[in-house]
Amino acid sequence: MATSGQADSTDGAAGPANVVISVDAMGGDNGPATVVAGIAKSAEKNPDIRFIVHGPERELRRLIGRRRELAARCDIRHADGVVTMHDKPSQVIRSAQDTSMWSAVDSVRAGEATVAVSCGNTGALMALSMMRLRKLPGVNRPAIACLWPSRNPQGFNVLLDCGADIRADAPDLLQYAMMGASYARNGLGLERPRVGLLNVGTEEHKGRAELKLAHDLIEPAAEHGAFEYVGFVEGGDIMGARVDVIVTDGFTGNIALKTGEGTAKLVGDFLKQAFANSVMSKFAAVLAMTSLKRLQKRIDPRRVNGGVFLGLNGTVVKSHGSADATGVSAAIKLAFQLAQSGFHDRLAARVAQAMREQKQPDEAAASSSAVTGAAS
Amino acid sequence: MATSGQADSTDGAAGPANVVISVDAMGGDNGPATVVAGIAKSAEKNPDIRFIVHGPERELRRLIGRRRELAARCDIRHADGVVTMHDKPSQVIRSAQDTSMWSAVDSVRAGEATVAVSCGNTGALMALSMMRLRKLPGVNRPAIACLWPSRNPQGFNVLLDCGADIRADAPDLLQYAMMGASYARNGLGLERPRVGLLNVGTEEHKGRAELKLAHDLIEPAAEHGAFEYVGFVEGGDIMGARVDVIVTDGFTGNIALKTGEGTAKLVGDFLKQAFANSVMSKFAAVLAMTSLKRLQKRIDPRRVNGGVFLGLNGTVVKSHGSADATGVSAAIKLAFQLAQSGFHDRLAARVAQAMREQKQPDEAAASSSAVTGAAS
């Protein structure tokens, strides 16, 4: 049901299309027309992307067929079913074989596409991705990493976990530090990212017991993980210049993310109201238009649209459910960058290396005791 | 050492001074001159406040003596010691008897003042307040409640716990709901506040186990607690119009608070940069000055300066450590409002009532079984 095969391809003669992105056209708040419009925006900017688009074939054929330049770069994969925002993840992994979301993830599983993008139900997408792609060997809890506008020169910080799992034990937080650093290296071009552990204060005696444990695990791992560990950081550092990567559990990360988005939106709305207040201020708004647009662009959540699932055998990008064409295009751009940089293989290599290093002391101990045994 | 007695009073002939506020002049980032300037601002606006000011007598006498109208309304209590931002709470409760913070809290304990205000170390202030004022009967974990700019008609929502305790079990969250609703009634004038429990989604199956337990405890308590329970809310609701009171543990609350403050500050700074960008935008900023000032006022954290400690035998207001005179004055205004409304007695009565009601079912069951016993 999920695939109608490569035969659906509307030809690939559009030049050197190096990267294939798998896009779930359904499940977002704004329907497939918006997703296709986002694909078109991306296609226009990046001639090197090809797409596999998943959803009801007839509708997709109509939407994509309207855009001649796009049709040549899209494979359509028919899927009748749609995962809705209200579907429970536990149900979805049992019975969503016919959905566009399942099909989109399976394109990555099959190696046809490098990254999958979906605007659908986060919990369901994570559950499906875990089931179909499986966790990387050595990863206990995958995480969702988000980019956050910041005062740093690179313009963004990385926050993880933004909500893949409501729990994280100390070893999970160590893995988040490693994976977050890898993401910052490949996604933000930082050679040696600074990593901090989110807490209610920067002093070492503060916070929950598992955070002190995590602190003691992350500190000695920084050297081999090629990051700098700055210790505990606070909520005010998420958008600050003290760190590049902020590590926390998915419960706290999700609350922080939504609080930050809500606050930015509130201030933006208050700003609009302030400028609509008088004739003078309306006139001022016209004069300041360029500056205000630049501000809007800096804090526009659509520009940093895309939570990246880390710790799986394949990369999945979760776009905002309410994303418009610009938002979808931003999520695809992120997917493209990660695919081009070979991010997934680098991350997997880093995790594998960390596993070897964690094992090595034991092996060393074992072989040394073997030697001792031979000597005695 | 802490008090030099009522004899220090510079007379009370300034008219009907109904409310006495105890102010810790030390421990803030900006020193006692800023605190005294804040007291002067409040004194000017509210002729009904008298002050007991705690700190090094000579310095305070000099600072207060300069302002003739203030001198007549301030008692000075000498205290040599200062609790610094780096002092550990556990040390402070053992050895801070000579500090201005201890002295300020003790004025409430002695009944000389209705509310204490301090800009000092939050953890130390909470530990001292718990030790000197003791918890209200029936309260397990006191909480810090903060006001948050919101889309609601009253302009602010209440968030608690903002960091009194890093843990909260389900019964604690129930008490936070009761105390937060009481604060919203007395502090914001809402007859029947809407209370929500902070989680990573609004669906009942989401979130941590203790949140589901708390959900089941709070729902049936709403009727007697004179609030409306709306169920789970998300980070984006903290500043929204769906609820008036947001209940969470002190770890999550503290991270949310600092994330919100940091985001508002980031957007504000980006806005300033945008307006400094060109001659045209600078001119626009001049034209829009009134509107921009109104915006700044709406999101200015100094205006809502003051975390209120709930659940103790006495009210303590924690001002921002970095508060300037306007901030200190806002914290004193909040203390004054709470003192005038008789908030503390109302909250205590509400908690006592809840205790009786929680016991009643058992008592009713006990007496009914006694009846059954008699019958059998």
CATH of the domain at A157: 3.40.718.10
Cis amide prior to A161 (ω within 30 degrees): yes
* Residue B200, number of CB atoms within 10 A of its CB: 25
pLDDT classification of A376: cutoffs 50, 70, 90: very low
User: Is the CB of residue A205 less than 8 Å away from at least one CB of chain B?
Assistant: yes
Write out residues 216-235 of B within 8 Å (CB-CB) of A. Answer: 234-235
Which one of B203, B255, B284 has the shortest CB-CB distance to A255? B255
pLDDT of residue A359: 67
Q: What is the mean pLDDT of residues A286-308?
A: 71
Which pLDDT value is given to residue B40? Answer: 96
Q: What's the pLDDT band for A268 if we cut at 50, 70, 90?
A: confident
The answer to whether the CB atoms of B200 and A251 lie below 8 A apart is yes
Whether B79 and B107 have beta carbons less than 8 Å apart is answered as no
The residue among B153 and A288 whose pLDDT is bigger is B153
Q: Which residue has the higher pLDDT, A37 or A224?
A: A37
Q: Are residues B91 and B189 in the same domain?
A: no
**Residue B294 C-alpha, separation from nearest chain A C-alpha, in angstroms:** 7
End-to-end CA gap in chain A: 66
Same domain for B121 and B94: yes
The larger pLDDT score, comparing residue A295 to residue A144, is at A144
Same domain flag for B56 and B105: yes
Q: What is the DSSP string of A206-233?
A: -S-HHHHHHHHHHHHHHHHHT-EEEEEE
Asked if residues A156 and A138 have their Cβ atoms less than 8 Å apart, the reply is no
Q: Stretch A158-172: mean pLDDT, rounded? A: 94
Sort out which chain B residues have CB atoms less than 8 A from A297's CB and list them. Answer: none
**With an 8 Å Cβ cutoff, are A294 and B278 in contact?**
no
Contact list, B167 vs chain A (CB under 8 Å): 208
Check CB contact under 8 Å for B288 and A270: no
Q: Tens digits of per-residue pLDDT, A36-87?
A: 999 999 999 999 999 999 999 999 999 999 988 899 999 999 999 999 988 8
The C-alpha atoms of residue A294 and residue A141 are separated, in whole angstroms, by 38
Nearest to A301 by CA among B206, B263, B271, B296: B263
Q: A256 at the B interface (CB within 8 A)?
A: yes
Distances (CA, A) of B92 to B27, B29, B102, B189: 13, 18, 9, 36
Same structural domain for residues A103 and A147?
A: no
In a domain, B18, yes or no: yes
Mean pLDDT, chain A, integer: 86
What pLDDT does B12 receive?
38
Residues in chain B closer than 8 A to A265 (CB atoms): 236
Token readout for B323 is 């508060």
Please judge whether B284 and A288 are an interchain contact, meaning their C-beta atoms are less than 8 angstroms apart: yes
Inspect the interface and report whether the beta carbons of A278 and B271 lie closer than 8 Å: no
How many other CB atoms are found less than 10 A from the CB of residue B134?
Answer: 13
Contact A25, A38 (CB under 8 A): no
A&B contacts, CB < 8 Å: 192
Kindly report, residue by residue over A105-137, the tens digit of the pLDDT. 999 999 999 999 999 999 999 999 999 999 999
B165 domain-assigned? yes
In a shared domain, residues B118 and B157:
no
- Residue among B166, B208, B254 whose CB faces A235 most closely: B254
Q: Same structural domain for residues A155 and A25?
A: no
Q: Which residues, given as ranges, of chain B have pLDDT below 50?
A: 1-17, 362-376
Q: Who has greater pLDDT, A288 or B351?
A: B351
> Rounded distance, CA B195 to CA A335, Å?
40
Asked whether residue B228 is domain-assigned, the answer is: yes
Q: Which B residues, 142 through 171, put their C-beta within 8 Å of a C-beta on chain A?
A: 149-151, 163, 166-167
For position A361, what pLDDT does the model report? 52
Label residue A271 by pLDDT band (50, 70, 90).
confident
pLDDT of the residue at A5: 38
A373 assigned to some structural domain: no
Asked if A279 is an interface residue toward chain B (Cβ–Cβ < 8 A), one would say: no
| pLDDT, average across residues A159-170 | 93
Q: Residue A28's CB: how many other CB atoms inside 10 A? A: 25
- For residue A364, being part of any structural domain is answered with no
Mean pLDDT (chain B, rounded): 86
- With b meaning 16 or more CB within 10 Å and e meaning fewer, what string describes A304-335? bbbbbbbbbbbbbbbbbbebbbebbbbbbbbb
Please give, rounded to a whole number of angstroms, the shortest distance from the CA of B83 to a CA of chain A: 16
A171 and A97 housed in the same domain = no
Domain stops at, among A278, A304, A330: A304
Segment A82-107 shows an average pLDDT of 92
Contacts of B166 in chain A (CB under 8 A): 200, 207-208
Kindly state whether residues A78 and A176 are assigned to the same domain: no
User: What pLDDT is recorded for position A367?
Assistant: 41
Residues of B in contact with A292 (CB under 8 A): 274
pLDDT at A17 over 50: no
For helices B209-225 and B343-375, what crossing angle results, to 10°?
Answer: 90
Q: Flag whether B84 is in a domain.
A: yes
Structure tokens at A34: 């918006």
Closest chain B C-alpha to A276 CA, distance in angstroms: 9
Judge whether B372 is closer than 8 Å to chain A, CB to CB: no
Separation in Å, CA of A24 to nearest CA in chain B: 23
Residue B364 domain flag: no
Chain A residues near residue B259 by CB distance under 8 angstroms: 235-236, 238-239, 256, 259-260, 263
- Cα nearest neighbour of A263 on chain B: B260
| Higher-scoring residue by pLDDT: A7, A99 | A99
Nearest CA in chain B to A276: B291
Could you tell me if A207 lies within 8 Å of chain B, comparing CB atoms? yes
pLDDT value of residue A12: 38
Query: How much is the pLDDT for B303?
Result: 60
Q: What is the pLDDT of residue B11?
A: 39
Q: Is residue B71 part of a domain?
A: yes
* Among A residues 284-313, those touching chain B with beta carbons less than 8 Å apart: 284-288, 290-292, 294-295, 298-299
Q: With an 8 Å Cβ cutoff, is B272 touching chain A?
A: no
Choose the final residue of a domain: B305, B330, B354.
Answer: B305
Q: What is the pLDDT of residue A299?
A: 65
Name beta bridge partners: B195. B229, B245
Rounded Cα–Cα distance for residues B138 and B48 (Å): 33
> What residues make up the domain containing B16?
1-134+312-341
* Displacement of CA B48 from its chain's centroid (Å): 21
B123: chain A residues, CB-CB within 8 Å: 201, 206
Is residue A130 domain-shared with residue A150, that is, in the same domain? no
Over residues A298-323, the mean pLDDT reads 83
Ranked by mean pLDDT, the top range of A300-309, A340-349, B87-96, B227-236 is B227-236
Could you give the number of structural domains in chain B?
Answer: 2
Residue A1 has pLDDT above 70, yes or no: no
Distance CA(B156)–CA(B66), nearest Å, equals 36
Same domain, B89 and B231: no
Shared domain check, A179 and A105: no
pLDDT confidence of residue A304: 64
Q: Which of B254, B270, B298 sits opposite A200 (nearest CB)?
A: B254
Task: List the single residue in A198, A240, A259 with the smallest CB-CB distance to B260.
Answer: A259
Whole-number Å distance between alpha carbons of A17 and A113: 12
pLDDT, residue B299, reads: 64
If one compares B260 and A268, the residue with the highest pLDDT of the two is B260
User: Least CB-CB distance to A288: which of B266, B267, B281?
Assistant: B281
Q: Which residue has the higher pLDDT, A280 or A1?
A: A280
Give the ipTM.
Answer: 0.84
pLDDT for the residue numbered B301:
57
Which positions 62-101 of A are in contact with B (Cβ < 8 Å)?
86, 88
Q: What is the pTM of this model?
A: 0.85
Asked if residue B287 and residue B153 are part of one domain, the reply reads: yes
